[in-house]
Amino acid sequence: MTKMTTKTMTECDRNRYAGMIKDYVAEHVGALLKEPHDFIRYPFIDPGSVYDGNVWDWDTYWSVYGLFGMMDTFPEEIREKILVHARGNVENFMDHQLEDGYIPMMIEVGEWPEPYLNGKHKEGVLMNMHKPFLCQQMCLISEFQGDFGWTEPYLEGLKRYFECYYRNYYMEDKGLFVWCDDIMIGMDNDPASFGRPKFSTANIYLNSFMVMEMQAYAKLLQSFGDMETAGEWERKAKGLVQVIQEECWDKRDRFFYSVDVDIRTRTFDWFHQGLGVFWKTLPIKIRVWSGFIPMYAGFATKEQAEELVRHYHDETTFHCDYGIATLAKDEKMFNLEATNNPSNWLGPVWLVANYVVFKAMLRYGYRAEAEEICENSLKLLGRDLEKTGCMHEYYDPYTGEPVMNGGFINWNLLAVNMVDDLEKAGAEV
């Protein structure tokens, strides 16, 4: 049964905060829409704040997602420009794809002739590659504009993109994808990956979003009539889901964890000659917000969703007055310090985490929880705008005070999407 939540905001305040966020974005959207420069050859969208002038992988996806949800706010000229820059995000990444299929996570201009990550990759230093949001962004744009045709020149590149993932980041004997290391993994200092040995973590974030990336690739292939290959990728996605369920769902804690894949029988002389290691992985039992992503992706079972909702309501772990803590509050790594490179995901509230959990709740019919996250997100950003005149990158889960990086817009836009998503869900009932 859904636990009913207490309304914390009047309809007037909700509309006022949503309006403030929309007005702020409308005033500053032009600063996000960057023109080509140096070896970034296509228009693009950046997150704002300290990330000005760089093209990022999942950041651009969520920026586009949020801007598309606000398109009615903008004049026609800006709407057309947003579409051009959205496609430019993809075009820039494909423009810097290497021969072996590698695509960098970020394209930045510095004192080098190409993206830094590409240069290191060419030197033989294996780096993490574009997070699994490339096909998702292509589908997001194509569905919004009602045309997939612009993606056709990239189909061969997408094939090589997945081949590179399977060749370098997939552990066939485990059936899961792994990060190379903790560099630019999105959730920079996620303890399940941060500081751990290379290729040792099959992160629930990576694998859950990879399921969605495979499904998006299948959709792209279907749009061009390649139903056979699309079917193969749909089956791959289902196969990955099965392994995630087997290896990442913890039956005792009722939560999805990242897992350690550096598991094998380590022989020494005549020791370890008997029963060896027969389990594929070990759970990394750190409760991170990414444990909710299988629910967002739609492959959590109804029973698993019920348990995840219970975790959401737990005041000692994830629940807070401003959304969701990105790391359970009772974990020993919980920390709210201001830090960049890595950014801090050890508990602060990030709007992208709020949105993913919001959509997860809405998808499985937990509307009261979704409404609460929406209102808490609007309150968080609205009060920040009132006090500081801008929005920030992440926030204190206890006080709602901004931690750092004023002027950050990016996925903060998603607070407005929540309002529209709730309205649409209400209309569908």
Residue 112 lies in a domain: no
What pLDDT, on the 0 to 100 scale, is given for residue 2? 41
pLDDT in tens, 331-356: 999 999 999 889 999 999 999 999 99
Residue 75 lies in a domain: no
* Mean pLDDT within 181-205: 95
Look-up: residue for tokens 């903790």? 182
In this prediction, residue 429 has a pLDDT band, given cuts at 50, 70 and 90, of: very low
pLDDT of 32 > 80? The answer is yes
What pLDDT, on the 0 to 100 scale, is given for residue 269? 62
* Polymer length in residues for the chain: 429
> pTM here?
0.95
pLDDT of 270 > 80? The answer is no
Q: How far is CA 317 from CA 95, 122, 286, 329, 393, in A?
A: 43, 43, 11, 5, 21
CATH code of the domain in which 177 resides: 1.50.10.10
> Quick one: 341 and 415 in the same domain?
yes
> Quick one: 243 and 326 in the same domain?
no
Look-up: residue for tokens 């649409």? 424
Residue 60 lies in a domain: no
pLDDT of 428 > 80? The answer is no
What pLDDT, on the 0 to 100 scale, is given for residue 268? 66
> Quick one: 349 and 406 in the same domain?
yes
pLDDT of 144 > 50? The answer is yes
398 CB burial (10 A radius; 0-12, 13-18, 19+): middle
| 344 Cβ contact partners less than 8 Å away, ≥ 6 residues apart | 188, 189, 335, 336, 337, 338, 394, 403
In this prediction, residue 1 has a pLDDT band, given cuts at 50, 70 and 90, of: very low
Q: Which domain holds residue 176?
A: 145-262+279-286
pLDDT in tens, 58-108: 999 999 999 999 999 999 999 999 999 999 999 999 999 999 999 999 998
Residue 73 lies in a domain: no
Residue 338 lies in a domain: yes
In this prediction, residue 272 has a pLDDT band, given cuts at 50, 70 and 90, of: low
> Quick one: 334 and 217 in the same domain?
no
Residue 327 lies in a domain: yes
pLDDT in tens, 66-78: 999 999 999 999 9
In this prediction, residue 371 has a pLDDT band, given cuts at 50, 70 and 90, of: very high
Nearest to 395 by CA among 386, 277, 83, 408: 408
pLDDT in tens, 313-337: 999 999 999 999 999 999 999 999 9
> Quick one: 310 and 408 in the same domain?
yes
pLDDT of 50 > 60? The answer is yes
Question: What is the count of structural domains for the chain?
Answer: 2
pLDDT of 35 > 70? The answer is yes
Nearest to 83 by CA among 144, 36, 41, 135: 144
What pLDDT, on the 0 to 100 scale, is given for residue 337? 96
In this prediction, residue 5 has a pLDDT band, given cuts at 50, 70 and 90, of: very low
> Quick one: 243 and 348 in the same domain?
no
Residue 32 lies in a domain: no
Residue 341 lies in a domain: yes
Q: What is the DSSP letter of 33?
A: E
- What percentage of the chain has pLDDT greater than the value 90? 88
